[in-house]
Structure 1
Amino acid sequence: MATPNELTAMRRAIAISAQGLGTTSPNPPVGCVILDRDGVPVGEGYHLRKGDHHAEVNALTAAGERAEGGTAVVTLEPCNHHGRTPPCRQALIDAKVSRVLMAVMDPTSRGEGGAVVLEQAGIEIERGVLEQEALLVLGPWLHSLSTGRPHITWAYGVDTDEGHSNQALTELRRRHDLVIRRDGTIEEGVPGGHGADSFRVPLPALGDEPGKALHVLTESGARTVLIEGRSNEAARLLADAVDRVIIDVPGTRPSFSLTGPGAESAVPGGFCLSDVKPSGYRVRLTAERVTQDQ
């Protein structure tokens, strides 16, 4: 079982893993915290982009010799293969950690998997630690793997095509690999943020066939795509593939007689509210597509 210190460390790892959103694809956004023998945090790190060091290596580098005999707390099972970087499970073994906690198992893990190799090296393993919380960051990446296409978010306002403020749009863009602007232009959410030779911005128009459009987006290396604006043609083209909608609706006074359609009409059919919060003088609704098992 995870100790209170380890749970705190996992939530810290989840928090810093989000700093890789919008730049790690096609790799996952992962965070790691290293605790010393006494359970004191001595290093942390996250994965920024493909080709750079992974979260575990960054955290171990920060911890140095203090990692020996300690615990690695990581949001995703350490990788078990040589890619552009060496396998993270070997870095943990070489650092002589005694225990590794992981939140989510990696469906792309090669061979027996990083967790099994760590166990074979005599390292204690805890799986599924705060898994549901870690999925707040890793969920879209896993969704992309399972569907074979990017996770798509559509953001708009109900009373104007602008809807979201510039600051709000900037924050949304930075959490996505690709952004489809209102005029159909496709851009990186974080300009120049992805690794070389592992990601490209689609240059041709998406066309008018949903299947081909999804293929173009998938081939770019994107795991997440943001569509901006209610009247964006891409929203119509990819309507059946939209997984999440983020909608700004007008706020109101504490007591107000409503004669027109209510805010509930802002959420498209087939979606269920997952979050509601104020955003300036407006209210932001987030809704997820309802699946058959919900």
Structure 2
Amino acid sequence: MPTSVELAAMRRAIVISASGLGATSPNPAVGCVILDAAGRTVGEGYHLRKGDPHAEVNALAAASARAAGGTAVVTLEPCNHEGLTPACHQALLDAKIARVLIAVMDPTSRGEGGAARLRKAGVDVQTHVLEEEALVVLGPWRTSLSHQRPVLHLMLQTDPAGQPTTPTTEALAQLALERQTHDLLISPDGSAEEGQIGSHGRRFSVPAHPVPDEPGDTVAALTEAGARTVLLVGPSKLSERLLSEALVDRLTLLVPVPEPSQATTTTPAPLLPDGYVLSRITRVGSQLVISAGRR
């Protein structure tokens, strides 16, 4: 069983892995912490973008010779193949790592996974360590793989009655925060840009402007670009069509805080479209920020 020190190291790896959100796609955002033979943290690292060293390699570089006989704590199973970078399981073996803790297994492993190869080499490997916590970061990437398309997140400003309206200053500030963790931002006019301008590496591109307003063509263009997470700003014809075809995975509604007591003679619009459930509600200034996901 993992020790309390190892569990703390895994949570640290999960936290630092989030530093790669909005930049690593089509690769996942991964974090790694190296403990020496005495259980002391001697290195940590995360994956920044495709084509750059993976989290394990960065953490091992920081640890240097102190990694020998130690433990690698990593949020995703070390890769078992050479691509733009060397295989991470081999880097761990070369560093003489004795034990590896893995949170999430890699569904993209080609044949025998990195965990199996490490075990064959005599390394003690434990898997599914704090997996649910690691999926806070890796969940959208894994969902994108499962759907074979990006995770689509729609953000809408509404009035108190639930009708789409022009974004407020607070809503624009919320949008500026949200875009940082998404690969692409699609504006109501169909223009596309990186969530973090200039953040991605090789094998990622920005779709031509405007993106198609037919849902199937849109999804194909976003997938071809290498995106895993896309933030759409509504309302727009595209967002309406994506909603109608159940292709929007997440909704964020920005609603002005209502008066404590108010009379009405009309029935407010439904808060959520059919098929969505509330996941989080918070208040930011004079706005309610309402999050929902598909059932």
Q: Which band: TM-score by shorter chain?
A: over 0.9
Question: Structure 2 residue aligned with 1:225, among 223, 230, 236?
Answer: 230
Q: 1:3 — aligned with what?
A: 3
| Aligned twin of 1:211 | 216
Distance in 2, matches of 1:247 and 1:26, equals: 27
Letter in 1 for 2:251: V
The answer on whether the counterparts of 1:79 and 1:114 sit within 8 Å (CA) in structure 2 is yes
- Aligned residue type for 2:192: I
1:110–1:252 CA distance, 2 compared to 1 (3 A): same
Identity of aligned pairs, percent? 54
Alignment partner, residue 87 of structure 1: 87
In 2 relative to 1, CA 101–263 (structure 1 residues): closer, same or farther, beyond 3 Å?
A: farther
1:4-83 paired onto structure 2 within 5 Å: 4-83=4-83
Structure 1 runs (4+) greater than 6 angstroms displaced: 260-264
Give the total of aligned pairs.
287
Describe the SS at the equivalent of 1:145.
Answer: helix
Aligned equivalent of 1:282: 287
Residue 12 of structure 1 and its aligned partner are, at CA, apart by 1.0
Who is 1:237 aligned against?
Answer: 241
Q: CA RMSD in A?
A: 1.8
Q: TM-score, normalised by structure 2?
A: 0.92
Q: Which amino acid aligns with 1:216?
A: A
Post-superposition CA distance 1:234-281 (Å, at most 9, x none): 21132221000011122246x434647899932222111111222122
Give the deviation of 1:225 after TM superposition: 0.6
Q: Which stretch shows the higher mean deviation, 201-210 or 57-66?
A: 201-210
Report the 3-state secondary structure (helix = DSSP H, G, I; strand = E; otherwise coil) of the residue aligned with 1:106.
coil
1:114-263 paired onto structure 2 within 5 Å: 114-159=114-159, 160-162=165-167, 165-196=171-202, 198-229=203-234, 231-239=235-243, 240-252=246-258, 255-257=260-262, 259=264
The amino acid of 1:238's aligned partner reads L
Work out whether 1:273 is the aligned partner of 2:278. yes
Q: CA deviation at 1:111?
A: 2.1
SS of 1:287's equivalent in the other structure is strand
Deviation at 1:54, TM superposition (A): 0.2
The Cα shift of 1:8 comes to 1.0
Q: CA deviation at 1:232?
A: 2.2
The whole-number CA distance in structure 1 between the counterparts of 2:116 and 2:4 is 25
SS in 2 for 1:249: strand
Structure 1 alignment gaps of length 5 or more = none
Give the SS at the match of 1:234. Answer: helix
Q: For residue 130 of structure 1, report the CA deviation from its aligned partner.
A: 0.8
Give the 3-state SS of the residue equivalent to 1:38 in structure 2: coil
Amino acid in the other structure paired with 1:223: R
In structure 2, do the counterparts of structure 1 residues 267 and 224 end up closer, same or farther at CA, with 3 Å as the change threshold? same
- Describe the shift of the 1:107–1:157 C-alpha distance in structure 2 as closer, same or farther (beyond 3 A): same
The 8 Å contact of residues 249 and 263 in structure 1, kept in 2 or not, is answered as no
- Judge conservation of contact 1:177–1:224 (CA < 8 Å) in 2: yes
Residues 237 and 84 of structure 1, relative CA distance in 2, 3 Å threshold? same
Displacement of 1:68 in angstroms is 1.1
Could you tell me the TM-score, scaled by structure 1's length?
Answer: 0.92
